[in-house]
């Protein structure tokens, strides 16, 4: 069922490309106008035939659009908002998909005109792949999409964007940008930082050769390498723009790591066992709520295709 006449997609990588594919598959929009920073990506989007029109500039893309979604790195959203502002249609909904929300609101909101409705969003779904070829229509199915409208946001615009994400297959939750950033700091940003650290540490080890690291990676390391392969630009921006929340969570993490380090040093098996039992229960909860499968490697790209049907 058509929800918007014209969807403007600014940025066409994993997320923008998945929105285009899913919106098409569900028949949610009349037409899609896409743009991307490089000529190469724009040419690839045309080749893939995933948009009705591919234009050169952000300003051109938003003309006549009733839904505009920025799917570009967090650090680039302020400048893009400034560029599109004079060209936005009356009543247009402007949204984004950034993994950090406070900085997006800070950088985008001041540029947007009162006749447009700004409703920030973050689909909590992804893979470590990037670019226009990496997207797929099923990416958002059964994943959360968090909307962080400001207090004065137009309820009708919020509802229309909620319905759009729901139609893409997502479960939608609404919270403040500040709360979003705190929650995602522990559930996403800190795990990525740990993965980036551990993979870097393994790479620098003198006593273990890199061929051994690769050979025996199934012992836990492999899952970290997948996360640590995530896009460097995106994650640089995440840590720069969610600094306070990440540092707060990192402080707590370091205290817990010290506690476990002490338990290992002291041979305190009871403390280790109690801790590992508690974390195992959290994993069970995630599987039970359908956010992951008990099958190995659920998170890898296209795993949805070979996931057993239940």
Which chain residues interact with ligand NAP by CB under 6 A? 11-16, 36-38, 41, 71-74, 76, 97-99, 122-123, 126, 130-131, 134, 231, 234
β-pair type (144-147, 121-124): antiparallel
The neighbour count for residue 127, using CB atoms within 10 Å, is: 19
Q: CA-to-CA distance for 223 and 198, rounded, in angstroms?
A: 11
Shortest distance (Å) from residue 18 CB to ligand NAP: 8
Q: State phi, psi for 90 to the nearest 5 degrees.
A: -65, 130
| Residue closer to ligand NAP (CB basis): 21 or 284 | 21
User: Which residue do the tokens 């909590």 mark?
Assistant: 124
Residue placing its CB nearer to ligand NAP in the complex, 66 or 237: 237
Least distance CB 294 / ligand NAP (angstroms): 22
Burial 4-20 (b: 16+ CB within 10 A, else e): bebbbbbbbbbbbbbbb
Nearer to ligand NAP, 72 or 157 (CB): 72
Minimum distance from CB of 35 to ligand NAP (Å)? 8
Separation of alpha carbons 79 and 232, rounded Å: 20
Q: By C-beta, is 40 or 254 nearer to ligand NAP? A: 40
The secondary structure of 62-95, three-state, reads: HCCCCEEEECCCHHHHHHHHHHHHHHCCCCCEEE
Smallest distance, ligand NAP to C-beta of residue 14, A: 4
Helix 269-288 with 243-266: angle, nearest 10 deg: 140
Q: Residue 127 Cβ, how far from ligand NAP at the closest point, in Å?
A: 6
In terms of CB distance, is 66 or 231 closer to ligand NAP? Answer: 231
């Amino acid at each position: 069922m058509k929800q918007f006449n014209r969807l403007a997609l600014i940025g066409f990588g994993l997320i923008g490309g998945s929105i285009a594919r899913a919106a098409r598959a569900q028949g949610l929009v009349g037409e899609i106008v896409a743009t991307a920073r490089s000529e190469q990506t724009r040419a690839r989007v045309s080749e893939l035939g995933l948009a009705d029109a591919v234009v050169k500039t952000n300003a051109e893309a938003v003309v006549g659009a009733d839904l505009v979604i920025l799917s570009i790195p967090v650090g680039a959203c302020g400048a893009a908002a400034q560029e599109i502002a004079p060209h936005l249609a009356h009543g247009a909904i402007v949204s984004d998909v950034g993994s950090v929300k406070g900085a997006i609101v800070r950088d985008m909101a001041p540029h947007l005109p009162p006749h447009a409705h700004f409703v920030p969003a973050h689909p909590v779904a992804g893979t470590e792949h990037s670019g226009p070829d990496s997207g797929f229509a099923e990416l958002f199915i059964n994943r959360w999409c968090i909307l962080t409208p400001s207090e004065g946001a137009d309820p009708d615009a919020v509802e229309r964007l909620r319905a759009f994400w729901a139609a893409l297959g997502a479960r939608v939750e609404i919270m403040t940008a500040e709360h979003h950033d705190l929650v995602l700091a522990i559930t996403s940003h800190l795990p990525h930082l740990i993965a980036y650290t551990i993979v870097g540490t393994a790479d620098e080890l003198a006593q273990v050769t890199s061929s051994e690291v690769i050979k025996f990676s199934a012992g836990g390391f492999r899952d970290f390498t997948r996360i640590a392969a995530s896009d460097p630009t995106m994650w640089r921006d995440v840590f720069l723009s969610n600094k306070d929340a990440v540092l707060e969570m990192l402080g707590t993490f370091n205290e817990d790591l010290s506690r476990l380090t002490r338990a290992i040093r002291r041979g305190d098996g009871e403390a280790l066992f109690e801790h590992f039992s508690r974390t195992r229960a959290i994993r069970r909860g995630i599987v039970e709520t359908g956010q992951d499968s008990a099958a190995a490697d659920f998170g890898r790209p296209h795993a949805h295709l070979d996931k057993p049907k239940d």
